[in-house]
Amino acid sequence: MSIFRRSRPADAPESTAPAAQFGTAVVRDGVDDPRVDPAAPEGVEEPVPQVAPISRSGRNMPIAAAVGLLLLGGVLAAAWWHPAALAGLVCLGAFAAVIEWRRVLGRSDRRVPLAPIGLATVGLVVATWYGGPEGLVVALMVGCAGTVAWRVVDERIENTLADSMASMLTLLWIPFLASFLVLMELSPDGWQRVIVVVLAAVGSDTGGLFAGMLFGKHPMARRVSPKKTWEGFAGGLLLGTLTASIAAFFFFDGRWWIGTVVGLASAIAAVLGDLAESAVKRDIQVKDMSSVIPGHGGIMDRIDSLLFAAPVAYVVFGLLLGTS
């Protein structure tokens, strides 16, 4: 049994509401059945509402592209400007994502306490800033123990185990993985590393989207995400690796192969992160985490790939260039 899902009560009646006329459509259980309104004057056509252009992906592509470029520019500028700027951005983004994820869990009757989770989120970033990898691990252990203890002494006894597991998953999934961006930024060439992995993740998402729209025929994981195809995966892998290789050529004295290795690993991790979020959303039966980002959905819908790519890139960069 999933820790997220709450079953419908057995005595809950199925919808038996009769079809009702509304305007020029017959509405049955929330689905419109277009029909001609018998009361409308003959020969008079109803005006057709104008809607924004929607692509095969289901997104408003002009808005999605503009918002995506704005977000990308903000992250790259913060990474280049100062490590503290990126750390602050990571802290703010992780905290907002935790609030969004907590609201989604609430729909499945999972209670994630905001106070300890919020403190632990900030604490993980601060501990990473001052203590590096060791500080991050210690902060994670303290955060998990604190959130479980908070939930145990809560007045609500029901679902204590499930809520505690959901709280620990929240810390592991969002602030812990996001803190690897801060770890990379603390290296002597930190901002270059962060830019390479961000470009790899964004390239993977973008290449996968357009390759899937143009050439996608073979589903990659039908039960998890029916729209993802192997053709899209190949396109994302190609663009993610290419953008990382080009950036590494300029950042690391012509050693483009560093970007190739990091970009390949990050692009694969980005796809896995996207699939992981899709599996969770399918389990709790939501399409988007929220609609806070126009054209993209929720914060988690935008950063899911980067969250998985960051620790992988940190390890690969460490093997190739060291961590200090």
Look up residue 147 and give its DSSP letter.
H
Query: Which one has a higher pLDDT value, 306 or 1?
Result: 306
Angle at CA of residue 71, ends 66 and 77, nearest 5°: 125
pLDDT digits (tens, 9 = 90+) for 306-323: 999 999 999 999 999 987
CA distance to 83, 89, 226, 276, per residue, from 77 (Å): 11, 11, 35, 29
Whole-angstrom distance, CA of residue 41 vs CA of residue 25: 16
pLDDT digits (tens, 9 = 90+) for 157-183: 777 888 889 999 999 999 999 999 999
Tell me: pLDDT of 56 over 80: no
3-class SS string, 47-101: CCCCCCCCCCCCCCHHHHHHHHHHHHHHHHHHHHHCHHHHHHHHHHHHHHHHHHH
- When the pLDDT of each residue in the chain is averaged and rounded to a whole number, the result is 80
pLDDT score, position 46: 45
Nearest to 248 by CA among 270, 233, 264: 264
pLDDT score, position 59: 59
Structure tokens at 101: 């994820």
pLDDT score, position 200: 94
Whole-angstrom distance, CA of residue 198 vs CA of residue 178: 12
pLDDT digits (tens, 9 = 90+) for 188-232: 899 999 999 999 999 998 888 888 888 888 888 888 887 888 999
pLDDT score, position 172: 94
Structure tokens at 200: 């790899």
Nearest to 197 by CA among 270, 266, 137: 266
Whole-angstrom distance, CA of residue 110 vs CA of residue 159: 8
Tell me: pLDDT of 15 over 70: no
Quick check: 267 and 312 in contact, CB under 8 A? no
pLDDT digits (tens, 9 = 90+) for 256-290: 999 999 999 999 999 999 888 888 888 887 777 77
From 82-86, 227-231, 293-297, the region with the lowest mean pLDDT: 293-297
Query: Which one has a higher pLDDT value, 213 or 129?
Result: 129
Q: What is the mean pLDDT of residues 119-128?
A: 95
Question: Chain centroid to CA 260: how far?
Answer: 24
Query: Which one has a higher pLDDT value, 25 or 95?
Result: 95
Quick check: 305 and 268 in contact, CB under 8 A? no
Tell me: pLDDT of 37 over 70: no
Residues 6+ away with beta carbon under 8 Å from 209: 57, 232, 236
Structure tokens at 232: 């899209």
pLDDT score, position 261: 96
